[in-house]
Amino acid sequence: MKLNLKDIIEISGASLPFQCELESLNPDYPSIVRFNAPPYAEGIVKNAAGALNLHADITADMVCICDRCMKEFETVKTLQLEVPLAAELEDEENADIFLLDGDFLNLDEVLETCFILDMESKFLCKEDCAGLCGNCGADLNDGPCSCKKKVDPRLAALAQLLDIDEE
């Protein structure tokens, strides 16, 4: 979606509200199975003393796969953002500034980029997810597995001492 900012670029204090669905958002994350509905964004672009800023809230209702136990779970991701906009970069050090295309802002590009950059590195069904057993693959959230834990070869001598005490 292209947002025409012509009416607010030259007027300090002017603003332009927006609402949109991010239908083209398809993050290449193996943990995201699908979106229950297209991610939704609403916000406003404000001109504050000649500096344009985009303020937005993005909400995404999605189905993910837990990176520890591999079960599907539903989650809602919300993101509040404030992004500076400019017609041109004055120095290359400000990579956080999004550029306008003339009087237009490619809103989808800005919102999708911010959403993807804020994505979690691990998706967990719950914070204390125990995951799967490395030996038998049992879900440790359901309880301990029945397989015998392997002893680290570096600690084998100590394990033998424990075996002697048990006999």
Q: Are residues 86 and 162 in the same domain?
A: no
Q: Is residue 25 part of a domain?
A: yes
Q: Are residues 9 and 82 in the same domain?
A: yes
User: Alpha carbon 97 to chain centroid distance?
Assistant: 20
Q: Is the pLDDT of residue 117 over 90?
A: no
Number of H helices, E strands in the chain: 3, 8
Q: Are residues 68 and 103 in the same domain?
A: yes
Q: Is residue 125 part of a domain?
A: no
Residue 41 pairs in a beta bridge with 20, 58
Residue range(s) defining the domain that contains residue 103: 2-117
Domain count for the chain, please give it.
2
- Residues 35-64 pLDDT 10s: 898 899 999 988 888 788 899 999 999 999
- Residues 134-151 pLDDT 10s: 888 889 999 888 887 776
**What pLDDT is recorded for position 167?**
45
Q: What whole-number distance in Å separates Cα of residue 133 and Cα of residue 148?
A: 11
Alpha-carbon torsion, ordered 52, 54, 55, 59, to 10 deg = 180
pLDDT band at 164 (very low <50, low <70, confident <90, very high): low
Q: Is residue 162 part of a domain?
A: yes
**What pLDDT is recorded for position 92?**
64
Q: Are residues 23 and 94 in the same domain?
A: yes
C-beta of residue 3 within 8 angstroms of C-beta of residue 45: yes
Q: Is the pLDDT of residue 165 over 80?
A: no
Kindly report the backbone phi and psi dihedral angles of residue 69, in degrees, each rounded to the nearest multiple of 5, phi listed first: -105, -5
- Residues 3-16 pLDDT 10s: 777 778 877 788 88
Q: Is residue 123 part of a domain?
A: no
Q: What whole-number distance in Å separates Cα of residue 48 and Cα of residue 97?
A: 15
Q: What whole-number distance in Å separates Cα of residue 2 and Cα of residue 100?
A: 10
